[in-house]
Amino acid sequence: MPWVDKDKCTGCGICTEECPVGVISMENEKAEINMNECIRCGKCHEICEEKAIRHDSERIEEEIRANVEKTKRFMEHFDSIEERQACLRRMMKFFEKGRIVAEKTLARLDSLKNDMK
């Protein structure tokens, strides 16, 4: 999913004009993408001369750190080591579920390739 590097965005507005579904707007002279409506076509990546529209793969490490920190904050609410360990196990199950959903989604999407032949 794309995201806008606000430090690189010059506010030229080309991406807002070229977005095929009109989900990029200008806020405070910077591009803003409505991710709920974005169709992930990649056109904004291609046309941004400043390379301000970035790919979410660049944020993987940032997201991992945020998930670990969130888990640590949750664990702080418990006094005993057993409760903290139980909280940690619950969070690991939560992230495991996300992995399973992603893997199964990818498998089903992969099968769409065969349907398009």
Q: What is the pLDDT along the chain (117 residues), one digit of tens a residue?
A: 899 999 999 999 999 999 999 999 999 999 999 999 999 999 999 999 999 999 989 999 999 999 999 999 999 999 999 999 999 999 999 999 999 999 999 999 999 987 776
Same domain, 70 and 41: no
Return the pLDDT at 54.
Answer: 95
Same domain, 47 and 84: no
Return the pLDDT at 1.
Answer: 81
Return the pLDDT at 21.
Answer: 97
Return the pLDDT at 53.
Answer: 95
Q: What is the CATH number of the domain that holds 46?
A: 3.30.70.20
Same domain, 65 and 105: yes
Return the pLDDT at 51.
Answer: 95
Burial class (CB in 10 A: 0-12, 13-18, 19+), 18: middle
Full residue range of the structural domain in which residue 14 is found: 2-56
Return the pLDDT at 116.
Answer: 79
DSSP string, 36-105: TT-----HHHHH-TT--EEEGGGGHHHHHHHHHHHHHHHHTT--SHHHHHHHHHHHHHHHHHHHHHHHHH
Return the pLDDT at 19.
Answer: 96
Same domain, 64 and 111: yes
Q: How many distinct structural domains can be found in the chain?
A: 2
